[in-house]
Amino acid sequence: MKLNIACIPGDGIGPEIVTEAKKVLNKIASVYGHEMVYTDILMGGASIDVHGVPLTAEAVETAKAADCVLMGSIGGNTATSPWYKLAPGLRPEAGLLALRKALNLFANLRPAVLYDELADACPLKKEISQAGFDMVIVRELTGGLYFGERYTTEEGGVRKAVDTLTYNENEIRRIAIKGFDIAMKRRKKVTSVDKANVLDSSRLWRKVVEEVAADYSEVTLEHMLVDNCAMQLVKDPAQFDVILTENMFGDILSDEASMVTGSIGMLASASLNDSKFGLYEPSHGSAPDIAGKDIANPIATILSAAMMLRFTFDLDKEADEVERAVKNILEKGYRTADIMSEGCKLVGCKEMGDLLADEI
Amino acid sequence: MKLNIACIPGDGIGPEIVTEAKKVLNKIASVYGHEMVYTDILMGGASIDVHGVPLTAEAVETAKAADCVLMGSIGGNTATSPWYKLAPGLRPEAGLLALRKALNLFANLRPAVLYDELADACPLKKEISQAGFDMVIVRELTGGLYFGERYTTEEGGVRKAVDTLTYNENEIRRIAIKGFDIAMKRRKKVTSVDKANVLDSSRLWRKVVEEVAADYSEVTLEHMLVDNCAMQLVKDPAQFDVILTENMFGDILSDEASMVTGSIGMLASASLNDSKFGLYEPSHGSAPDIAGKDIANPIATILSAAMMLRFTFDLDKEADEVERAVKNILEKGYRTADIMSEGCKLVGCKEMGDLLADEI
Ligand SMILES: CC(C)[C@H](C(=O)O)[C@@H](O)C(=O)O
Ligand SMILES: CC(C)[C@H](C(=O)O)[C@@H](O)C(=O)O
């Protein structure tokens, strides 16, 4: 099979982790007889430096022409980077938001898994973490407050800013269907998160989610208020299978959940549209402080590549193989600095990529 | 001094915990020579049952006529309570939202403290919790998404819902001033939380907070994105002193922070206006499952009463005395069921109130 992959190395540690992901994909290609074709795209700070904008129309076209996008990370350190002196619409993140919209990537899937081998890194105490947990947050990614109309104005000398949170039933239905479809392949439980005791958009959310649920009699649906969910993720993460929620709540809760695993350097993500197209990227950021030092953890990007094999190319066997390799390498005791613990073998970014490629 | 206190026992465990708070306040009155005058108000489910609405205009007037409001908790179990079959504006929470607005209670203060004696209840592992933590979340309470214009409509047969997030500079300034004033009496650090990389309201928030900060040269200000803050609360809660944020972010983060303490039954809150008026209530909910069983923990309400003595009446000595009594009783090993641990003495709600009153 020929796999047409647009790559966005991006900023900070982005380029090095994407290089390791390609290494692993190339090994998959040679073992399973596929052909990987990579086309690099500039986005974020890397694009600002060259083109003056975080995403060009050509970059969007190149992405559209590919089967999918594999991304490293974008942006820098807001306190020290000159990119953050630019107008908001010209900053690195604006490129990512624009690409999500242009590619209609409405479904963001972020697994938060406690790896047995990394249980010591979990910030929760043993009584809670020993139950283990394995959830996926299904976040709506192209609607809500982050894409609504917004403006800043002055009324009688008083500055005022407005953001708008809008959802229509179609936007809610398609993400709910994704959530339930994913639950069907897992433990068949959906926790839909909203603030229906206050927001109109949340009440519509709840209604449409219930309509969708009617088609999935095997799936257990529960509703949870967002403030309560923020508590439950700390108190009892094992209760969750699929968390289904809107854009902003998903942003906050998925970051909380990833921190609860204690190994954010291990967490993949996929942003999907209605067909097979997807953008795959690690859940973590660009970590500019450790960029170029060969100490970043490439595993989240490599596992994102595994999600890509599974979702965009239906290459389940190959995806399983990548995930198995990660498990084996952890079992053998290899660790990058972020997940290092006593008695384990410390390796750099490149060496971790080599080990994983060799394991396949 | 004559203290005119409007009381809202409310629903669930509300009445029993307010009774114990009055017991402690009465002891304070007799020891320090004050006079407590209580006027009870119905709100939430209790008001719906009697008046058909969660808050009457008379109730608001009674509250306004008092020096402050002491509240238990309102609402029930959304799954089983008939109140949740009512239209949203008629449900228990609508009463609380309306009262906040009517009394202009724009500043919500929620301390999240790890008590030494209760460190075992903390869901975080020792490596993190041993540093201890003591923060207060200063949440804007009468603006933003929870009070913006909202509507649900149909366009071409497609249902659509809209909520609006509006802040003007005056609303931001007054809460920022509260946050910095509080920081001046604490460890002099403010973490302002927003989503300024996306939202216009957050960018205005950040600007106005910086303008206010200019008047507090002794206070260190840092900005943090809300998704990052949700992570940091789990990873390293000791870094926070004052967290200053808008309504919705504050709702989510303060609940997360309270769960991180592991003893939500201990956490007080105050909602203040521009003058000395305040509404004081525990951070926890109405716990209908344990209502009337004399097992609820009244300490959060009692500590809320201490905040009331301090903020509304400037009775610092009396407030200190209540807080000291709580510390002593914990040191002596008395615990309600929610904070019980091995080797401690289990007591009920009433007995805890008696012990605390006796300690004064
Ligand atoms: C970079 C930012 C705009 C983005 C978001 O909030 O959507 C990021 O936090 C994420 O979660 O992917
Ligand atoms: C009851 C509800 C409307 C309220 C809120 O979200 O403001 C509650 O969650 C709180 O935090 O006080």
Asked if B210 is an interface residue toward chain A (Cβ–Cβ < 8 A), one would say: no
Candidates 3.40.50.1370, 3.90.25.10, 3.40.50.1980, 3.40.718.10; CATH matching A1-104+274-360: 3.40.718.10
- What average pLDDT score do residues B266-283 get? 96
Contact call for A195 and B248, based on CB within 8 A: yes
**CATH dotted code for B123-261:** 3.40.718.10
Q: Of chain B residues 123-142, which have a CB less than 8 A from chain A?
A: 123-126, 128
Give the nearest ligand 1 atom to B198 CA. Answer: 3
Q: Pick from A88, A124, A231: which is nearest to B124 by CB?
A: A124
> Atom 4, ligand 2: which residue's CA is nearest?
B93
- The answer to whether B110 faces chain A, any CB pair under 8 Å, is no
**Cross-strand pairs, B5:** B38, B68
Contact yes or no for A168 and B151 at CB 8 A = no
Question: What single DSSP character describes residue A275?
Answer: S
Q: Is the CB of B212 under 6 A from ligand 2?
A: no
**Fold classification of B1-105+267-360 (topology level):** Isopropylmalate Dehydrogenase (3.40.718)
Mean pLDDT, residues B202-209 = 97
Indicate which ligand has the atom closest to the C-alpha of B146.
Answer: 2
pLDDT in tens, B221-261: 999 999 999 999 999 999 999 999 999 999 999 999 999 99
Strand ranges across the sheet with A158-168: A150-155, A158-168, B158-168, B150-155
Q: Is B256 in the pocket of ligand 2 (CB under 6 A)?
A: no
Q: Is B186 annotated as a binding residue?
A: no
pLDDT band of residue B50 (cuts 50, 70, 90) is very high
Q: Please tell me the predicted confidence (pLDDT) of residue B77.
A: 86
Q: How far is B205 from chain A (nearest CA, A)?
A: 9
Answer yes or no: are the C-beta atoms of B5 and B38 closer than 8 Å.
Answer: yes
Percent of chain B, pLDDT > 70?
A: 100
Look at residues A183, A187, A189, A190 and name the one whose alpha carbon lies nearest to residue A205: A190
Inter-chain contact A159–B146, Cβ cutoff 8 Å?
no
Question: Given CB atoms, is A231 within the 8 Å cutoff of chain B?
Answer: yes
Contact A344, A333 (CB under 8 A): yes
Chain A residues whose beta carbon lies within 8 Å of the beta carbon of residue B158: 168-170
Alpha-carbon Rg for chain B, nearest whole angstrom, is 20
- Tell me the residues of chain B between 49 and 88 that have a Cβ less than 8 Å away from chain A: 78, 88
Give A162's contacts in chain B (Cβ within 8 Å). Answer: 164-166, 200-201
Q: Which atom of ligand 2 is nearest to the CA of B108?
A: 12
The predicted structure's pLDDT at residue B78: 82
Q: What are phi and psi of A166, to 5 degrees?
A: -125, 135
d(CA A192, nearest CA chain B) in Å: 14
The Cα of A95 is separated from the nearest Cα of chain B by a number of Å equal to: 12
CA of A155 to the centre of ligand 2 (A): 30
Say which amino acid occupies A340. M
Among A124, A204, A230, the residue with its CB nearest the CB of B159 is A204
- Check if A152 contacts B (Cβ < 8 Å): yes
Does the pTM surpass 0.85? The reply is yes
Atom number of ligand 1 nearest to Cα B195: 6
Counting atoms of ligand 2 from 1, which one is nearest the CA of B248? 6
Backbone angles phi, psi at A334, to 5 degrees: -80, 135
Is B251 assigned a ligand-binding role in the annotation?
Answer: yes
Indicate which atom in ligand 1 lies nearest the CA of residue A97: 3
For B270, the token pair is: 């105050």
Taking chain A (360 residues) in runs of 10, the rounded mean pLDDT of each run is: 98 98 98 98 97 97 98 91 90 95 97 93 94 97 96 97 98 98 97 96 98 98 97 98 98 97 96 95 96 98 98 97 97 96 96 98
Q: Specify the 3-state DSSP secondary structure of A55.
A: coil
> Mind spelling out the 3-state secondary structure of chain B?
CEEEEEEEEECCCHHHHHHHHHHHHHHHHHHHCCEEEEEECCCCHHHHHHHCCCCCHHHHHHHHHCCEEEEEECCCCCCCCHHHHCCHHHCHHHHHHHHHHHCCCCEEEEEEECCHHHHHHCCECHHHHCCCCEEEEEEECCCHHHCCCEEEEEECCEEEEEEEEEEEHHHHHHHHHHHHHHHHCCCCEEEEEECCCCCHHHHHHHHHHHHHHCCCCCCEEEEEEHHHHHHHHHHCHHHCCEEEECHHHHHHHHHHHHHHHCCHHHCEEEEECCCCCEEEEECCCCCHHHCCCCCCCCHHHHHHHHHHHHHCCCCHHHHHHHHHHHHHHHHCCEECHHHCCCCCEECCHHHHHHHHHHHC
Domain span(s) for CATH 3.40.718.10 in chain A: 1-104+274-360, 123-261
pLDDT of B57-103, one tens digit each?
999 999 999 999 999 999 988 888 999 899 888 999 999 999 999 99
A68 in contact with ligand 1, CB cutoff 6 A: no
The preferred substitution site among B11, B91, B97, B255 for testing ligand 2, maximizing ligand atoms within 8 Å of CB, is B97
Residue B79: what pLDDT? 80
Length of chain A: 360
- Is there a contact between B123 and A234 if contact means CB atoms under 8 Å apart? yes
How close is the Cα of A124 to the center of ligand 2, in Å? 26
On average, the pLDDT of chain B sits at: 96
pLDDT of residue A177: 98
B338 catalytic per annotation: no
DSSP secondary structure letter of residue A269: E
Domain with CATH 3.40.718.10 in chain B: 1-105+267-360, 123-261
Would you say the CB of residue A153 lies under 6 angstroms from ligand 2? no
B320-337 per-position pLDDT tens digit: 999 999 999 999 999 999
Q: Collapsing DSSP states into helix, strand and coil, what is residue A279?
A: strand
Contacts of A204 in chain B (CB under 8 A): 152, 159-161
Q: Are residues A161 and B160, on separate chains, in Cβ contact within 8 Å?
A: no
B152-175 pLDDT, tens digit per residue, is 999 999 999 999 999 999 999 999
CB-based contact, B97 to chain A, within 8 Å: yes
Q: Determine whether the shortest distance from the Cβ of A152 to ligand 2 is under 6 A.
A: no
